Structure 1
Amino acid sequence: MSVEEATGQPRPGRPRSEQSRSAVVRATSELLHEIGLRAMTTEQIATRSGASKATIYKWWPNKYAVAVDAFFSELQADSPDPDTGSARQDFTIWLRRLCHFYAGPSGAVFAQLVGEAQFDPEVATELRDGLVRSRRAVLETIWDRGVARGELRADVDRDVAIDLIIGPALYRLMTGRGGLDDAAADAMADTVIRGLSA
């Protein structure tokens, strides 16, 4: 006797297979680096991953949501909380990692996502909710620790402070003006933290 026959209730939908999800994310990441966001299609993701288009659309609303998920999976391992005991040092380490990421192949993918978000509200939402918030959470933690230790100014708006920390690297990525190496990251962190120090 089936579950439906025994209970009179339909079986809940099958949870998505982690193996299939990983294959879709991996395929999307490869395509983003090979041909870019705009050229990539859901059909190509399906072909490369072995998942059907219907399955992909069941899990993600569009190719942009898959792209953000794929991009986020690349970033996760690159954005741990340093927690060195010094807010200045934590921000410097975090900015170095961000600059390395922006300077590599993933930087071009992120720039494409940001560019697409200017024209498509869905992409903007996916990018903000799926990526930006999680990245900012680490910086918020670093900031709060620094304020609690008396290193950083408690009278400064935290969101504005974090914008000031992230802003220069993002500007350099989007305009191609200025370096994104360790020296650049150190200079950005030093300049911003000097103004935010208690």
Structure 2
Amino acid sequence: MAVRSETSRLAILEATAGLLDPRRPDALTLQKLSIERIAREAGVSKTTIYRWWPSKAAVVIDTFLDDHVARTPTRDDLPAMDALREHLSSVATLYAGHEGDLMAQLIAECQYDPETMAEFKRRFYDQRLETAVGLIERAVAEGGVRTDVAPVTIAQMLYAPLYFRLLFRESGLDADGAVDILSTALAGIRARDAS
């Protein structure tokens, strides 16, 4: 694998983010985006992009992932339930903005393109699920969540409503809606002796 020029990498990611930003009058959808357009906008060759990424979806996922992880941290300095509440709220808040439009487009693209689905899972979903499961395992260890439910099941139960609201443009895709999801779910997952 070629050594990436950090300047070129950042230019490609910034160009991709700019081309997909719905606040721009000339914004593109993921479907209309092309490697050629990214290369032209970034001032690099198509070969440079293909040397580092296998597809436009992979570029878009990496573009999104850099911002997503920075804006939706999972904090170790808080009790797990507080960190989980904060994380769910930050994901909902992020998805309520233009980043949510991009995520919805990525999920849609995954439905008919197996390569995009594989890239999405490998570059984004698997890592974020692992992070959420780790946070829930910490909540179990701290006594805030039942021990008889698999942490991955709890993660899916908590995060799925956010994606439902994102994809169907339902209300409640905000910090308050995320807290409501968690509060409602806790009636079923809270440890019996937890306060």
TM-score normalised by L of structure 1: 0.89
Deviation at 1:84, TM superposition (A): 4.9
Residue 99, structure 1, aligned to residue 87, structure 2: no
Deviation at 1:139, TM superposition (A): 1.2
The number of equivalent residue pairs is 186
Is the Cα contact below 8 Å between 1:88 and 1:190 reproduced in 2?
no
Corresponding residue for residue 187 of structure 1:
180
Taking the aligned partners of 2:153 and 2:91, their CA distance within structure 1 comes to: 18
Residue 60, structure 1, aligned to residue 48, structure 2: no
Taking the aligned partners of 1:164 and 1:143, their CA distance within structure 2 comes to: 12
Taking the aligned partners of 1:192 and 1:122, their CA distance within structure 2 comes to: 34
Give the alignment of 1:119-134 within 5 angstroms.
Answer: 119-134=112-127
Give the alignment of 1:37-76 within 5 angstroms.
Answer: 37-76=30-69
In angstroms, what is the RMSD of aligned CA positions? 1.3
1:157 to 137, 143, 150: 150
Corresponding residue for residue 11 of structure 2:
23
Q: Which runs of 5+ in 2 are unaligned?
A: 22-26
The higher radius of gyration belongs to 1
Taking the aligned partners of 1:15 and 1:84, their CA distance within structure 2 comes to: 35
Q: Which string of whole-angstrom CA distances, capped at 9 and with x for unpartnered residues, describes residues 97-122 of structure 1?
A: 01111100000000000000000011
- Give runs of ≥4 in structure 1 deviating > 4 Å: none
Residue 166, structure 1, aligned to residue 159, structure 2: yes
Deviation at 1:55, TM superposition (A): 0.8
Taking the aligned partners of 1:130 and 1:107, their CA distance within structure 2 comes to: 17
Q: Which runs of 5+ in 1 are unaligned?
A: 1-12
Deviation at 1:136, TM superposition (A): 1.8
State the AA in 2 paired with 1:130: R
TM-score normalised by L of structure 2: 0.90
Corresponding residue for residue 24 of structure 2:
none
